[in-house]
Amino acid sequence: MSGASSWQRATQAIAAARPDGAGEPLNAPPIPASAFRAGGAVDYARKASPTASALEHALGLLDGGHAVAFGSGMGAIAATVRSLVPRGGRIVAPWDAYLGTRALLGDLEADGQLTWTRVEQDDTEATLTALGDADVLWIETPTNPLMAIADVPALVAGAGEHGARVVVDATFPTPLRLRPLEHGADVVVHSVTKLIGGHSDLLAGAAIAADPSVAEDLRLRRRLDGAVLEPQSAWLALRGLRTLEVRLDRAEANAMALAGDLAAHPAVTRVRYPGLPSDPGHERHARQAEGPGTMLAFELADAATADRVLGALRLVAHATSLGGVESTIERRGAQPGEDHLPAGLLRLSVGCEAHADLWGDLAGALDAGAEAGPRRPKDAR
Ligand SMILES: Cc1ncc(COP(=O)(O)O)c(C=O)c1O
């Protein structure tokens, strides 16, 4: 398989893991097989399979580590937590991490398997103080959906002093915008379902470890739990990866413009987007990441106003999930388990449509939705 490590990441995303022999297809094809003839490199697809291995090869190159593909982002997260936190151990993780991560940690804690110390990860000092003798520091930057930015280099350095391993969920930035292993993190996890897949048509996840023995443990866990990535989704994920850079460029430009549009709209009380110079995480994010990202959150007066806006949209799809070429929006506070969020907060996953159409749709819905509702003064931040 091809993929030179000297190439730029944008090139690797396109060129990595292609068959390179004479007469071979240009793209790694989906190979839907559970069993293989004995004597070869693979024998049973729950251990390893060629299409998922091609995706692992590409993601490993991009993040600079040893990639293990899973059937979903949660598969990667669960395997990583259970591999790195020993029974009775302690994990330090953001109080506002992705809903599924919180549910998993809460479940393991209730079961007596680990202790979860909840932190505001954007408060570096408090996070490091909370570390103590913890086994793992879990970072998610930006957090979903409150967009809190962690100082990855500072946290990694501090965790090293405490002897804690560091895992970064880099689903929002993707390996083309943030590479935590280069900052010294031990494992990076991605929901490949989101931006890497990019078309809202697959479920996949990946954990990429700096240390090959950690990757080996993750592979064993995947095999025992059966959390494998099936070939069709691996193939689609690899196909999505090929256009990740151009999709990111386009969607980030849209997100940057929309963040400004939203901030200036009278119905919007606050915009959270690290690309905005006024955002509290702006400078920190710019120091460690190569782009502002495609995710933003904004707040309206209350849940009723937000729901009216959702109901008035025609182009931006009211749907859960994120990272597709199509823009999607959701009032996350309406999800069970998300009642810590401001009731009027909408999470917007910005896609690749024309900016004028996106803003036309959002502005029209904001005007229609906010008409009947109360207005609050802008948040000074
Ligand atoms: C930041 C983050 N990590 C992990 C996941 C879980 O990924 P999956 O849905 O592929 O299991 C999500 C899903 O929304 C997410 O937003």
| Range in 31-45, 241-255, 366-380 the model is least confident about | 366-380
Judged against a pLDDT cut of 50, whether residue 380 lies above it is answered with: no
The confidence score (pLDDT) of residue 2 equals: 52
Atom 12 of ligand 1, residue of closest alpha carbon: 191
Separation of alpha carbons 20 and 1, rounded Å: 6
The confidence score (pLDDT) of residue 370 equals: 79
Separation of alpha carbons 130 and 107, rounded Å: 21
186-199 residue pLDDT tens: 999 999 999 999 99
The confidence score (pLDDT) of residue 172 equals: 98
Instruction: Specify the pairing of strand 66-70 against strand 345-349.
Output: unpaired
Cβ density class 164-199: b for 16+ within 10 Å, e for less = bbbbbbbbbbbbbbbbbbebebbbbbbbbbbbbbbe
Q: Give which of 330, 69, 45 is closest to 196, Cα–Cα.
A: 69
Q: Give which of 241, 152, 236, 230 is closest to 196, Cα–Cα.
A: 241
Separation of alpha carbons 278 and 92, rounded Å: 28
Judged against a pLDDT cut of 90, whether residue 54 lies above it is answered with: yes
Judged against a pLDDT cut of 70, whether residue 378 lies above it is answered with: no
Separation of alpha carbons 336 and 317, rounded Å: 20
**Averaged pLDDT score across all residues of the chain:** 96
The confidence score (pLDDT) of residue 291 equals: 98
Pocket flag, ligand 1, residue 349 (CB < 6 Å): no
Judged against a pLDDT cut of 70, whether residue 366 lies above it is answered with: yes
328-339 residue pLDDT tens: 999 999 999 999
Nearest-atom number in ligand 1 for the CA of 76 is: 11
195-248 residue pLDDT tens: 999 999 999 999 999 999 999 999 999 999 999 999 999 999 999 999 999 999
CA 81: distance to chain centroid? 16
Which domains are assigned to the chain? Answer: 9-242 (3.40.640.10), 244-371 (3.90.1150.10)
The confidence score (pLDDT) of residue 43 equals: 96
Distances (CA, A) of 172 to 162, 200, 266, 333: 27, 15, 28, 19
Judged against a pLDDT cut of 60, whether residue 377 lies above it is answered with: no
The confidence score (pLDDT) of residue 203 equals: 98
Mean pLDDT of the 42-49 span: 96
The confidence score (pLDDT) of residue 3 equals: 53
Strands (E), 222-341: 270-272, 295-299, 317-318, 328-330
For residue 379, count CB atoms less than 10 angstroms from its CB and return exposed for 0-12, middle for 13-18, buried for 19 or more.
exposed
Atom 8 of ligand 1, residue of closest alpha carbon: 73
Q: Please say whether the beta carbons of 234 and 69 come within 8 A.
A: yes
Catalytic: 376?
no
Judged against a pLDDT cut of 90, whether residue 372 lies above it is answered with: no
The confidence score (pLDDT) of residue 371 equals: 75
Distance 375 CA to ligand 1 centre (A): 33
The confidence score (pLDDT) of residue 373 equals: 57
Pocket flag, ligand 1, residue 98 (CB < 6 Å): yes
